[in-house]
């Protein structure tokens, strides 16, 4: 196999498990009704799905979406931390 050629349609079971667990966390956060936690969990799910697609298709676009989603999840986490510490 040529190393410069991207491998398409490869299945990564670890990413599938991570996306499944993150989706379960998203459902639990939706059930709790806390908006900040739900946004953070949704961004983690979007980031994992985008990372999965970027690895599968070797696409810089999906990698950029993954970075943006993980950055948004981190920002939501920092905001939740600020609320918890009464900074905001």
Residue 65 lies in a domain: yes
Res. 34: pLDDT tops 90: no
Q: Is residue 66 part of a domain?
A: yes
Is the model's pLDDT at 13 over the cut of 80?
Answer: yes
Return the minimum-mean-pLDDT range out of 17-21, 38-42, 55-59. 55-59
Residues 6+ apart with CB under 8 A from 3: none
The domain in which residue 27 lies consists of 13-84
Mean pLDDT, the chain, whole residue set: 86
The structural domain count of the chain equals 1
Residue 7 lies in a domain: no
39-57 residue pLDDT tens: 999 999 999 999 988 888 8
> Rounded to 5, what percent of the chain is helix, strand, coil?
75, 0, 25
Find where tokens 């070797």 sit: 58
């Amino acid at each position: 196999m040529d190393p410069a050629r991207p491998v398409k349609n490869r299945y990564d079971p670890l990413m599938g498990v991570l996306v499944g667990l993150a989706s379960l966390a998203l459902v639990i956060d939706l059930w709790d009704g806390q908006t900040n936690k739900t946004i953070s969990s949704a961004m983690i799910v979007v980031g994992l799905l985008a990372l999965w697609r970027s690895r599968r298709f070797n696409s810089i676009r999906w990698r950029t979406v993954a970075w943006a989603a993980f950055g948004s999840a981190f920002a939501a986490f920092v905001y939740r931390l600020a609320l918890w510490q009464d900074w905001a």
